[in-house]
Structures are given as structure tokens and as C-alpha cells.
Amino acid sequence: MCVTIRRATIDDAKQISELIVPLTKKYVCPTWEQDAHHVVLESMSAENVASYIANDYYYLIAEDEHQSVIGVACMRDFSHLYHLFVAEKHQGKGVSRLLWQRLKSVSLKQGNQGRFTVNAAINSEQVYAKFGFKRTQGVRKRRGMVDVPMELTVADKVI
């Protein structure tokens, strides 16, 4: 499988939303209270994703050989991993690692001093642990949303 990673543009917002909304409904929403679902799903609309891209959230997309979006990752302030999603049929093939490594590299080049955070969904904690993230506290529940705050400190900032 040939995977291309590139920076997303506003024109990619619809495809990004179409990838991440169904995955969020399937994997994240079941661990949250019903009242919180609309908050996260609205934040992932094509309009909101376009706004994030326009306002300096750094989005990367992974495309297959047919230029279909198969993965997306987003970093806020070059320090907080905001989104990391891979289409189901491409999971377990290293796409999330490719996206993460590229985001980390870009962030370090942009001045990140080696500290990254993520609020991991309950069922994605193990993915982030494989990247080196560690819990900073236990499972957290806020306004019906459930996550695990995690942090990664990169000692060697060689890019």
C-alpha cells in the first residue's frame, strides 16, 4: 500500500470530517454520556474543521494511491495532539505512526521543546502508549466526556 502524507488545506475539510465523524460515533461516543455526543460531533463538522485549518491548527492527511483520505492527524499549538484517526480498513498498518511521527517532527521544527499532550479516548490509550505517551492522571470525566490525559516528553529533540 502506498501512503502519501501531506498538509491538509481548507479544501480537505469535508473529507476529513467524513472520516472522523463516523469513527468518533463508533469508538468514542459509546464511552461518553449521550448529552456530550453533540459537542464533539459538532466540533468535527466540515465547517469547524475548515475553521481549525484556517486558524493555525496543523492538520496532516494520509492518502492512499487513489488520493482517498485514509487518515488524519491534527496538532494544536504544535504541542497538543488534537485528532488522530485512521480509516478502519487501514488500521494496524502503521498509518497512525506515520502521521504522528510527521506531526512530531514538524512541531519540533516549529519550536516545541519536546513536550506533547493528548486527551486520549478510552479505547485509544494503548495507541498513544505505543508512541511513548504516559498517563498524567487517571480516567477523567468532564461534562459527560471521558478521556485519559497523557503526555510525552521527547528527551532527544533531533529531528
CATH of the domain at 19: 3.40.630.30
Which residue has better confidence, 72 or 121? Answer: 72
* pLDDT higher than 60, residue 157: no
Tell me which residue has cell 472520516.
Answer: 19
**Per the domain annotation, does 158 fall within a domain?**
no
**Per the domain annotation, does 13 fall within a domain?**
yes
- Write the DSSP string, 38-91: HHHHHHTSHHHHHHHHHTT-EEEEEE-TT--EEEEEEEETTTEEEEEEE-GGGT
**Per the domain annotation, does 159 fall within a domain?**
no
Question: Angle 13-27/34-43 helices, nearest 10 degrees?
Answer: 160
Grid cell digits, residue 115: 513536550
Residue 18: which domain range? 4-153
**Per the domain annotation, does 82 fall within a domain?**
yes
pTM for this one? 0.90
**Per the domain annotation, does 35 fall within a domain?**
yes
The total number of structural domains in the chain stands at: 1
Residue 5 CB coordination number (10 Å): 16
- DSSP category for residue 30: G
The mean predicted confidence, pLDDT, of the chain is 91
